[in-house]
Amino acid sequence: MTGSSVVADQVRAGGGVQPPAPARRRRRGIGWAQRLEIAALSGPAILMFLGFVIFPVLMAGYYGFYKWKGFGRPTNFVGLDNYRTILQDSSFHEALLHNGLIVVLSLVLQGPIALALALLLNRRMRGRSIIRVLIFVPYVIAEVIVGTSWSLLLQTNGAVNGVLRSIGLDGLTQDWLANPKLAIWSLMLILTWKYIGFAVILFLAGMQNIPEELSEAAAVDGASYWQTQRRITLPLLGPTIRIWAFLSIIGALQLFDLVYIIWGQYVASTAGTSTMATYMVTEGRNAGNYGYGNAVAVVLFAISMIIALLYQRFVLRRDTQGALTEGR
């Protein structure tokens, strides 16, 4: 039977002409040239990650089982004693509490202030570029300079108390760094001043991705400025806010430099500003017990990892699901 007779039979049967099924394309695998290119481009980054992240974590876990002076091969195996000491030490409990307080205060203080500044700087106004630069400048200043400068400003005979005395407010002069009731708030003032610029720039970048047509349509419908920000800007800025919150939480958990520079290794605990990182250095390196310090580092890493995984699982889940659409 010829091909024309087959087509005629199909037309008589009312089925029409059925086009031939397209041939399935075979998925071409990655060639050796592409594999070598991928290896050459990603290999150095993978080696750096293994050498400076994974390997130190594994070595910290190994040394955490020993009482080690920091030199030579560790031989005094103590098992889980270092970890038991950490969990039972009240100083570590205070440092953990301080970290938790810093996490909460960072989100509560920096978030609303940065969001208000970003909304203000997102509008057309004179000097907007200069204000953006001035807000972002503290973020790029080295922590050593920031810590040293603020420690000089806030000490008993510093500039802050000097200004208060010069305007007749002697009763408001305080020991801003040593008073346990004020030291944590002094730290939060410094952290907010230091890192508020990063949050503002991040929020401004997120606002640039919001189509202006949405705000214009809302204005046409009679929505006020604040209604537009509440109904359009803030919901669409949600992924950026959640990413900033994640970075802020991890940074607060690992806070070390500013506390150590301003309060040192001994004043931080008595002033109520010690953190897990300062506790690690004080009880580990400065005490000559590097094994214990490595155990503290493992605990700090575990706490940060658990919080990061929980945050990604319950907070960033819909953001990552929206981005990972391939294969659906």
Q: What is the pLDDT of residues 159-213, one digit of tens each?
A: 888 998 888 888 888 888 888 889 999 999 999 999 999 999 999 999 888 888 8
Averaged pLDDT, 61-87:
89
Predicted confidence at residue 23, as pLDDT, reads 53
Span 227-242, pLDDT tens digits = 888 888 888 898 999 9
- 295 by Cβ neighbours in 10 Å (0-12 / 13-18 / 19+) ranks as buried
Global pTM?
0.81
Span 262-275, pLDDT tens digits = 988 777 788 889 99
Distance between CA atoms of residues 121 and 223, nearest Å: 21
State whether the Cα torsion 243-245-250-251 is positive or negative.
positive
Predicted confidence at residue 11, as pLDDT, reads 45
Nearest to 143 by CA among 255, 289, 25: 255
| Tokens coding 171 | 């009763």
Confidence bin at 327 (pLDDT 50/70/90): very low
More confident residue, 81 or 327: 81
Give, in order, the Cα–Cα distances in Å from 239 to each of 207, 228, 248, 312.
11, 18, 14, 12
The CB density around residue 219, as the number of other CB atoms within 10 Å, is 13
Whether residue 97 contacts residue 272, with contact meaning beta carbons closer than 8 Å, is answered with no
> Any residues with CB less than 8 A from the CB of 268 and at least 6 apart, and which?
259, 260, 274, 275, 278, 282
Whether residue 284 contacts residue 296, with contact meaning beta carbons closer than 8 Å, is answered with yes
Averaged pLDDT, 25-37:
73
Distance between CA atoms of residues 64 and 112, nearest Å: 40
